[in-house]
Amino acid sequence: MRLRTAALAALLLCGVSGCERVMRGMYEQPRYDPGERSALFPDGRATRPPPPGSVANAIGDLAATSSGRRGQAEVAEREAASAAGAPPPLTRALLRRGQERYGIYCLPCHSPVGDGDGPIVRRGFPRPPSYHEQRLREAPDRHFFDVITQGRGIMYSYADRVTPEDRWAIVAYIRALQLSQHAPIAALPPALQEKLAAMPPEPPAAREPGR
């Protein structure tokens, strides 16, 4: 009986060791790990650079441990960081793009003119600050970019909805809205200045009864 028990125990140990060898074989597959060297390529590195024009879908530790299914947030953060310091030149195309994106993502709260009286605000949503406040007129462009990226107050982040390039386009359009309400007459074209000068003055606002 003892001999049979010892034989059975030895057999189980052999099975366990076999399982361990199989597991180690799974861990240590015949492949190159990141950072390993290889004589197959001129630069001596096993890790190959992505093809030109490739767009990363996922990066970082989460992507590495989930076969790329996770790690999109790091891509968005890196894109935002790279674009944050490089606003594109101001062009008509940029303003048109900003107007389009603004109409989709910003207008419902901030209104067509940026005064914070958007359609959903009129239905009870908390009113955002007006872009025409002196504080925001003097704010740097980066302030608006960061708010779109990170959110602020009850406004959530739009980093996963609006690309860094489109964020800069929206910032450019916000500046255009601010200028539309505060443009000095002397900066207008002469024909428009003459037209404004010929317009009759607006009548004073009627006072409400009891005021």
Q: What is the pLDDT of residues 74-121, one digit of tens each?
A: 666 666 666 666 788 999 999 999 999 999 999 999 999 999 999 999
Q: Are 51 and 36 in contact (CB under 8 A)?
A: no
pLDDT at site 40: 85
The partner residues of 155 in beta bridges, in order of sequence, read 152
Domain boundaries, given as residue ranges, for the chain: 90-182
Position 46 pLDDT exceeds 60: yes
pLDDT at site 122: 95
CATH number for the segment(s) 90-182: 1.10.760.10
- CA angle 181–187–193, rounded 5-degree value: 90
More confident residue, 122 or 184: 122
